[in-house]
């Protein structure tokens, strides 16, 4: 198992919900993981083999965590380094409010966010030709 596979497994084990998108009907696939805390969400966006970013975004009515305007923390690097940073991020507390930062260009899930459809195959069934 590669380090990236191990980190992705750990993020999933911690309870992140995964979303798979295409930037448009013909664009590359984008994998985004979201973990909801009270009052904020941690988000990681994997956009390719060598590019990823993560951020902590305040949540509330009307907040789109995949298209943030302000964040309290952000990180950009390779998928391995981004996941490492995300996994070492301290749990948010209600007693300490982080100053909000304007989101750098290109953060969130780009494009029209066309969801990729996944079909689950029954474990016991086989397809006859």
Predicted confidence (pLDDT) at residue 111 exceeds the cutoff of 70: no
The fraction of the chain above a pLDDT of 70, given in percent, is 78
pLDDT tens for residues 26-60?
766 888 999 999 999 999 999 888 999 999 999 98
pLDDT value of residue 30: 86
pLDDT value of residue 105: 85
Predicted TM-score of the model (pTM): 0.82
Among 53, 15, 52, 47, CA closest to 34: 15
Query: Quick count: other Cβ atoms within 10 Å of Cβ 16?
Result: 20
Strand, coil or helix: 16: coil
């Amino acid at each position: 198992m590669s380090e990236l596979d191990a980190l992705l497994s750990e993020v999933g084990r911690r309870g992140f919900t995964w979303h798979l998108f295409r930037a448009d009907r013909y664009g590359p696939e984008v994998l985004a993981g979201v973990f909801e805390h009270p009052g904020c969400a941690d988000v990681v966006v994997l956009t390719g083999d060598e590019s990823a970013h993560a951020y902590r975004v305040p949540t509330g009515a009307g907040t789109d965590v995949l298209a943030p305007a302000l964040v309290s923390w952000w990180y950009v690097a390779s998928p391995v380094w981004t996941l490492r940073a995300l996994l070492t991020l301290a749990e948010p507390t209600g007693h300490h409010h982080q100053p909000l930062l304007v989101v750098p260009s290109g953060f969130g899930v780009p494009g029209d966010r066309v969801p990729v459809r996944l079909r689950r195959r029954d474990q016991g069934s086989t397809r006859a030709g």
